[in-house]
């Protein structure tokens, strides 16, 4: 086996993060992008096709399922640009324990091991191939990447289909240490494979109850015009995904952006280009900005030319000063990196990997994650909690939470967790105790497609300003499985508590966990829409009595327990006595009283001891 790492890399600012799973937030791997692409094909009809050599696939033309013109459908693999680390070109194909619909192959027996994903070529006609001229299959492979590391008993294999219809194993790679992409060649020089219905397939064996034991493949070539030791290809290929248009987020409410565009916008644009040839090359590149919802071209960020050699060069690109369209309700900003390299291979279209784009959403929610989960995250023990920090540019009204639970290992559908919103965390913000604004019990539900978010409506809307936190509390020994993006790092914003003390999480990645703010006709609420603070006093508090009294102009009140269950609703004359008779048999502990009067609200803590 030839084992080579990529050496010819041109970078326009790179942000690479090491992944540390040694913390109280437990990470496991899951699959990333939606597998159900919009295209639908008749697989039986396509399977009558016979492809010719040379055959080339770098997975840059499709996202989700592999190209149906080249690959048999429903092999379970996922084409994406998030799992590979240091890939030859944009797009890799990932193998794991999830099927073509994004569900575990075996969700009943969590430790079952066996064949999971496969990638099988269409028929390739090798019947007229001269046996004296060896056909070469080459590819790049990687263990783990941004996925989970395959165990020593796991493996990936390559098989050829003989004239007899038998699949013959020609290459096997076992699990082991994590690595970069490795170059591999396999010779096809036996007459039994030189027939009109030749196929090749890769398949992996691993744990089948989720996205475990991951493998990545890229840049597969089959032909007989190269020498066996020829790795060099005249191709400049874009690779790593562009960074977000925003500095700290992948998405944010549009009115929060308008409140401070300079603070919100990223200072640089980053792209990665790999030179797959042994010699230097000269090329032009252009970076454009466009608003997709209105199809409005905004500006050219950079239009230049440079050369690329066999050593690494860094070119940070400062973004030009410009203004986005004003007064739009929503925006989808596309940043596009376009390479003009002059590649003119008569048989293979190497230009297909010369353009890279990234879309950034300005709508009604904040997101650190890019929408693609490579891992799942959970808290290690019962009643453990995590918190996720966000920062507003202006006052706003929090109404919903978007989250993405992932099916993996054990089916937790029907279990519940506690959803939290805090203004301050104990000690982290210099506070003597947590400032919980909401605690709401919610069920764990799995969406009907991969990476699809579930929107949870809060029991009550919350006025937020500046820094705040959202989080979850695990209520059983079974760890919930929330999506986790390994490509975007917001680890500085994550905290966990498993022993009544908040600590910063030692993880690099982002939770698929998003706060959503009020909107009117698609526009985020302004300060004039936000509810004012209502001044309320409860007495006695703490209390051991059957009733309590309120002071303040309160017209309505609702009593909740810490699981978000409603225990009582009360109405008052704002100028009269406000006595609340508490429900019988309440246990000792803390409760929350939501008080309101027109556009004013307050949430007060009530402590009971009997």
Note whether 392 and 346 are same-domain residues.
Answer: no
Domain carrying residue 586? 532-608
pLDDT at 599 over 80: no
Ramachandran assignment for 521, one of left (phi > 0), alpha (psi -120 to 50 degrees), beta (any other): left
pLDDT at 528: 39
Domain annotation covers residue 527: no
Nearest to 178 by CA among 210, 141, 209: 141
Same domain, 134 and 247: no
Instruction: Please tell me whether residues 225 and 244 are part of one structural domain.
Output: no
The pLDDT score that the predictor gives to residue 264 is: 94
Q: Which of 81-85, 285-289, 299-303, 387-391 has the highest average model confidence (pLDDT)?
A: 387-391
Sign of CA dihedral 446, 448, 453, 459: negative
Q: Give me the percent of the chain exceeding a pLDDT of 90.
A: 50
Whether 7 is in a domain gets the answer no
Q: State whether the Cα torsion 147-148-152-154 is positive or negative.
A: negative
Least confident of 257-261, 303-307, 426-430: 303-307
Question: Is the pLDDT reported for residue 218 higher than 70?
Answer: yes
Q: Give the phi and the psi of residue 115 in degrees, each rounded to 5.
A: -70, 130
- Residue 100 lies inside a defined structural domain of this protein: yes
Residue 15 belongs to some domain of the structure: no
Count of all residues that appear for the chain in the document? 610
Give the CATH number for residue 348. 2.60.40
Q: Residue 398's pLDDT is what?
A: 96
Q: pLDDT at residue 557 above 50?
A: yes
Report the pLDDT value the prediction gives residue 319, as an integer from 0 to 100: 52
Mean pLDDT of all residues in 2-26: 32
Within 10 angstroms of residue 358's Cβ, the number of other Cβ atoms is 20
Taking CA atoms, 149 is separated from 181, 212, 459, 486, in Å, by: 14, 8, 41, 14
pLDDT at 493 over 60: yes
Q: What is the CATH number of the domain that holds 186?
A: 2.60.120.260
Section 423-451 average pLDDT: 89
Least confident of 50-54, 233-237, 354-358, 445-449: 445-449
> Both 225 and 272 in a single domain?
no
33 pLDDT above the threshold of 90: no
Residue 11 lies in a domain: no
What count of other Cβ atoms lies within 10 Å of the Cβ of residue 537? 11
Tell whether 209 and 300 lie within a shared domain.
no
- 181, 142 Cβ separation under 8 angstroms: yes
Question: Could you give the C-alpha distances from 200 to 99, 170, 484, in angstroms and in order?
Answer: 20, 10, 33
Check whether residue 77 and residue 177 sit in a common domain: yes
Q: Provide CB contacts within 8 A for 117, sequence distance 6+.
A: 75, 76, 77, 94, 95, 96, 97, 98, 99, 203, 204
Out of 82-96, 277-291, 456-470, which region has the weakest mean confidence (pLDDT)?
Answer: 277-291
Q: Tokens 């991969």 appear where?
A: 450
Give the contacts of 61 (CB within 8 A, at least 6 positions apart): 67, 91, 352
Identify the CA nearest to 323 among candidates 258, 227, 253, 249. Answer: 258
Taking alpha carbons only, the member of 451, 370, 362, 462 closest to residue 419 is 462
Burial letters 454-475, b for 16+ CB under 10 A, else e: eebebbbbbbbeeebbbbbbbb
Would the pLDDT of 521 be above 70? no
Burial 216-240 (b: 16+ CB within 10 A, else e): bbbbbbbbeebeeeeeebebbbbbb
N-terminal to C-terminal alpha carbon distance within the chain = 74
Domain boundary among 486, 520, 554: 520
Considering the domain architecture, whether residues 116 and 199 belong to the same structural domain is answered as yes
* Domain membership flag for residue 148: yes
pLDDT of residue 205: 97
**pLDDT for 346:** 67
Give the number of other Cβ atoms within 10 Å of residue 288's Cβ: 17
Instruction: Mean pLDDT check: name the lowest of 10-24, 171-185, 379-393.
Output: 10-24
> Looking at the structure, do residues 601 and 513 belong to the same domain, yes or no?
no
pLDDT band of residue 500 (cuts 50, 70, 90) is: confident
Query: According to the model, what pLDDT value does residue 481 have?
Result: 84
Q: The dihedral of CA 92, 97, 103, 105: what is its sign?
A: positive
Comparing 447 with 218, the larger pLDDT belongs to 218
Q: Round to whole Å and give the CA distance between 135 and 107.
A: 41
The predicted model gives 435-458 an average pLDDT of 89
- Judge if 197 and 83 occupy the same domain: yes
Q: Which residues contact 47 (CB under 8 A, 6 or more apart)?
A: 72, 122, 123
Q: Both 100 and 215 in a single domain?
A: yes
Q: What is the mean pLDDT of residues 376-401?
A: 91
Q: What is the mean pLDDT of residues 302-323?
A: 62
125 and 250 in a common domain: no
**What is the percentage of the chain residues whose pLDDT exceeds 70?**
87
Residue 526 tokens read as: 């302004």
Q: What is the per-residue pLDDT for 313?
A: 37
Strands (E), 259-415: 268-269, 271-275, 281-291, 296-308, 313-314, 317-318, 331-340, 355-363, 375-379, 385-391, 396-403
- Asked whether the bond before 90 is cis by omega within 30 degrees of 0, the reply is no
Summary mean pLDDT of the chain: 84
Mean pLDDT of 99-121: 90
Q: Residues 408-433, buried b or exposed e (16+ Cβ, 10 A)?
A: bbebbeebbbbbbbbbbbbebeeeee
Nearest to 388 by CA among 372, 377, 374: 377
Q: Are residues 68 and 166 in the same domain?
A: yes
Give the residue from 331, 363, 395 where a domain finishes: 363
pLDDT at 396 over 60: yes
Helix, strand, coil: what percent of the chain each, to 5? 5, 45, 50
Q: Are strands 313-314 and 9-12 parallel, antiparallel or unpaired?
A: parallel
- Mark which of 363, 396, 428 sits at the end of a domain: 363
Please report the pLDDT score of residue 246 as a whole number: 94
Residue whose pair of structure tokens reads 């989250």 in the numeric block: 403
- Mean pLDDT over 234-246 rounds to 88
Mean pLDDT over 51-79 rounds to 92
Taking the C-alpha atoms of residue 533 and residue 535, their distance in angstroms, rounded to an integer, is: 6
* Rounded CA separation 401/399 (Å): 7
Count of structural domains, the chain: 4
pLDDT at position 245, please? 92
Tokens of 595: 């008080």
Q: Please tell me the distance from the alpha carbon of residue 478 to that of residue 488, in angstroms, as a whole number.
A: 27
Q: Return the CATH number at 546.
A: 2.60.40.3080
In a domain, 332, yes or no: yes
385 vs 408, higher pLDDT: 385
Residue the block writes with tokens 């410009």: 322
pLDDT in tens, 37-61: 433 445 666 777 899 999 999 999 8
Q: Half-sphere exposure of 44 toward its Cβ, with a 13 Å CA cutoff?
A: 0
Question: Is residue 105 domain-resident?
Answer: yes
Which run of H or of E encompasses 263?
A: helix 261-264
CATH of the domain at 443: 2.60.120
């Amino acid at each position: 086996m030839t084992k080579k790492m990529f050496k010819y890399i041109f970078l326009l600012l790179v942000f690479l993060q090491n992944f540390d799973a040694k913390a109280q937030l437990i990470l496991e791997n899951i699959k990333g992008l939606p597998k159900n692409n919009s295209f639908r094909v008749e697989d039986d009809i396509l399977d009558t096709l016979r492809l010719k050599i040379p055959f080339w696939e770098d997975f840059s033309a499709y996202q989700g399922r592999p190209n149906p013109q080249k690959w048999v459908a429903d092999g379970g693999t996922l084409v994406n640009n998030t799992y590979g680390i240091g890939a030859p070109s944009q797009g890799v194909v990932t193998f794991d324990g999830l099927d073509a619909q994004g569900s575990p192959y075996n969700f009943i027996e969590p430790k079952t091991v066996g064949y999971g994903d496969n990638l099988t070529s269409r028929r390739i006609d090798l019947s007229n191939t001269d046996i004296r001229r060896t056909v070469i299959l080459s590819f790049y492979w990687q263990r783990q990447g941004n996925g989970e590391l395959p165990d020593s008993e796991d493996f990936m294999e390559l098989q050829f289909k003989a004239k007899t219809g038998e699949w013959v194993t020609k290459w096997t790679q076992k699990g082991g240490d994590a690595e970069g992409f490795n170059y591999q060649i396999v010779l096809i020089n036996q007459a039994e494979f030189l027939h009109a219905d030749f196929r090749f397939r890769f398949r992996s064996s691993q744990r089948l109850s989720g996205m475990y034991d991951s493998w990545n493949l890229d840049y597969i070539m089959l032909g007989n015009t190269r020498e066996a030791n020829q790795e060099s290809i005249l191709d400049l290929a874009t690779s790593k995904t562009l960074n977000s248009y925003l500095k700290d987020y992948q998405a944010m409410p549009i009115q929060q952006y308008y409140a401070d565009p300079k603070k919100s916008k990223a200072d640089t644009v980053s792209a990665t280009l790999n030179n797959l040839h042994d010699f230097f090359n000269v090329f032009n590149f252009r970076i454009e900005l466009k608003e997709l919802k209105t199809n409005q071209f905004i500006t050219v960020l950079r239009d230049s030319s440079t050369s690329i050699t066999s050593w690494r060069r860094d070119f940070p690109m400062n973004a030009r000063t410009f203004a986005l369209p004003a007064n739009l309700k929503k925006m989808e900003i596309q940043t596009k990196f376009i390479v003009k390299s002059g590649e003119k291979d008569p048989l293979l279209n190497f230009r297909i990997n010369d353009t890279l784009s990234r879309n950034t959403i300005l709508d009604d929610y904040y997101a650190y994650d890019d929408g693609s989960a490579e891992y799942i995250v959970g808290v290690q023990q019962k009643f453990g909690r995590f918190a996720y920090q966000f920062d507003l540019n202006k006052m706003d009204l929090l109404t919903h939470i978007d989250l993405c639970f992932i099916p993996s290992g054990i089916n937790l559908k029907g279990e519940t967790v506690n959803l939290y919103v805090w203004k301050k965390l104990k000690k982290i913000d210099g506070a003597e105790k947590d400032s919980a604004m909401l605690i709401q019990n919610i069920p764990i539900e799995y969406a009907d497609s991969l990476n699809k978010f579930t929107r949870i409506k809060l029991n009550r809307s919350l006025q937020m300003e500046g820094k705040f936190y959202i989080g979850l509390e695990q209520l059983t020994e079974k760890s919930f499985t929330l999506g986790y993006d390994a490509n975007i790092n917001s680890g500085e914003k994550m905290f966990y508590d498993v022993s009544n003390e908040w600590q910063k999480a030692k993880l690099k990645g982002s939770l698929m966990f998003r706060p959503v703010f009020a909107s009117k006709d698609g526009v985020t609420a302004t300060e004039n829409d936000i509810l004012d603070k209502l001044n309320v006093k409860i007495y006695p508090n703490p209390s051991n009595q059957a009733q309590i009294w309120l002071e303040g102009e309160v017209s309505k009140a609702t009593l909740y327990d810490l699981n978000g269950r409603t225990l009582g609703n009360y109405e008052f004359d704002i100028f009269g006595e406000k006595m609340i008779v508490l429900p019988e048999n309440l246990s000792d502990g803390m409760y929350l009283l939501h008080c309101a009067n027109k556009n004013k609200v307050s949430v007060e803590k009530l402590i009971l001891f009997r």
